[in-house]
Amino acid sequence: MTVMTVLSTTPSTTPSTTLSTKLSTKLSAPRWPELIDAVRESGQYATTAEAERVTRIVLSALGGHVTGDERVDLARALPEEAARVVASQIPVTCPLTASEFVDAVAGRIQGATSATARWDVSSVLSVLPSLVGDDVVDRVLARLPQGYALLFGRAELTPAG
């Protein structure tokens, strides 16, 4: 039996194939520096450190508001460091409106106003669809109160009354 024959008779779903598929999927996930660079560009932050600080604050605030399978899927799609920030948060018992969420983030950033916090929140959340995929973001938005879509850089259409 030649090597070619052995390879062609090996089942296509061996444990090692499944593992390598999972690893390649995880390796293709965005890395932390890519996320920070995207936020820095989106928010026009002067330094990488500032973009990283804002990213951590916004993701930690978001982590408490995203629950269930959506939280798990969001964490899986994010770089490992960002996933830890999201997953380490205790879920809130009463979700905040989008406006209250922005104000809560403002309370975490020294010297922030509602306007600057909205900029920060949008700078982070608006890069997520291109990094984690529209499907994950759609599902996250479906679980959040109305108004969050704008923070993710999306239009939020409401049915005509």
The 10s digit of each residue's pLDDT in 99-116 is: 999 999 999 999 999 999
Q: Quick check: is 99 in a domain? A: yes
Q: Quick check: is 59 in a domain? A: yes
- What confidence score (pLDDT) does residue 155 get? 85
Is residue 9 pLDDT above 60, yes or no? no
Q: Quick check: is 100 in a domain? A: yes
Domain that holds residue 116: 31-151
Please tell me whether the overall predicted TM-score, pTM, comes out greater than 0.85 for this model: no
Amino acid at 80: E
Q: How many domains does one find in the chain? A: 1
What is the per-residue DSSP string for 78-145? S-HHHHHHHHTSPPPSSPPPHHHHHHHHHHHSTT--HHHHHHHHHHHHTTHHHHH-HHHHHHHHHHSP
Is residue 142 pLDDT above 50, yes or no? yes
Please list, in sequence order, all residues whose beta carbon lies within 8 angstroms of the beta carbon of residue 23, skipping any fewer than 6 positions away.
none
Q: Quick check: is 7 in a domain? A: no
65, 95 contact by CB (below 8 A): yes
Q: Quick check: is 15 in a domain? A: no
Q: Quick check: is 6 in a domain? A: no
Q: Quick check: is 8 in a domain? A: no
The CATH number of whichever domain residue 43 belongs to comes to 1.10.490.110
Is residue 16 pLDDT above 50, yes or no? no
Q: Quick check: is 18 in a domain? A: no
